[in-house]
Amino acid sequence: MGGHAGTPEEHTIARKPQPEGGQAPVVQRVRIRYAKRGPLRFTSHRDFARAFERALRRAAVPVAFSQGFHPHPKISYASAAPTGVASEAEYLEIALQAPVDPEALRAALDAALSPGLDVLDAVIADGGNLPDRIEASHWHIEMPEVDPAVLRAAVDAFVAADEVLVERMTKQGRRTFDARAAVMSIDASAPTPTPSGAPDVPCAILELVVRQVTPSVRPDDVLSGLRVVADLEPPVSPRVTRLAQGTLTAQGAIVDPLDADRDGAAIVEH
């Protein structure tokens, strides 16, 4: 779980870094789960991608490169969390020129990244398309200085609504869309009391399971929806964490998308 221990020499995959622009065929694909924690939740997706490519070089991972005049490492990302949001369940896939042990790869990349960007799991891809396994996300939202009873009333109003229209600026300009339809479950609660018994600052907890749709419905869209239906305006910025994302069962549970790869074999391309 993100130890980041040891020296770079102790956490490398190959004896020498692979030369950039190498065009060896892809012999293995590895899927990785990583976390964004603490202050590193403010890392943008672009900044993480740069840090991850540096980690690949530091760990001497035999990553495969694209063709052309400006080869780049073959990395694909699945549904990255917005900047400022913490996450325990971010996913990516890398293509490799040589087979590696997934656990050795996980440890090497974890050691090469800053604490707070933690590589949690790695499995050999067993076919299928990783983004197709991302059907929903579970979000945990802490709302300091919000009375749980007030949040509960807002949630009840949100659930009772047939639709909740919100606005957001997108690449195509400002759009209005329904934030209600994508929400599979929404619940409000209070945090557990502190063992010390000291007076608690009011804090409400919002748990969300949101289906992956287009345009995507993000936690801030649901918070905007609570403002629309109940005029709820948190005095302090909520702290959002994605706890899980993956496929949905008939009972509404979320299954880790890497579970389907656990006992798979390497994908060999010619």
Q: What was the pLDDT predicted at 270? A: 31
Summary mean pLDDT of the chain? 88
Tokens standing for 97?
């020129």
Contact 57, 63 (CB under 8 A): no
Query: For residue 168, what are the β-bridge partners?
Result: 175
Tens of pLDDT along 145-155? 999 999 999 99
Asked if the model's pLDDT at residue 248 lies above 80, the reply is: yes
Domain range annotation of the chain: 28-132, 134-255
What DSSP element (H or E) covers 148? helix 148-160
- Write down the number of H helices and E strands in the chain: 4, 11
* Identical fold, 28-132 and 134-255: yes
Q: What is the pTM for the complete model shown?
A: 0.85
Average pLDDT over every residue of 232-244:
96
CATH class held by domain 28-132: alpha beta
What DSSP element (H or E) covers 239? strand 239-248
Q: What was the pLDDT predicted at 230? A: 97
Tens of pLDDT along 8-28? 455 777 654 444 544 678 999
Question: Measured between alpha carbons, how far is residue 218 from residues 33, 147, 167, 236, 239 in Å?
Answer: 20, 23, 12, 18, 13
- CATH fold of 134-255: Alpha-Beta Plaits (3.30.70)
Work out the number of other CB atoms within 10 angstroms of the CB of residue 19: 9
Contact residues for 17 (Cβ-Cβ < 8 A; gap 6+): 57, 60
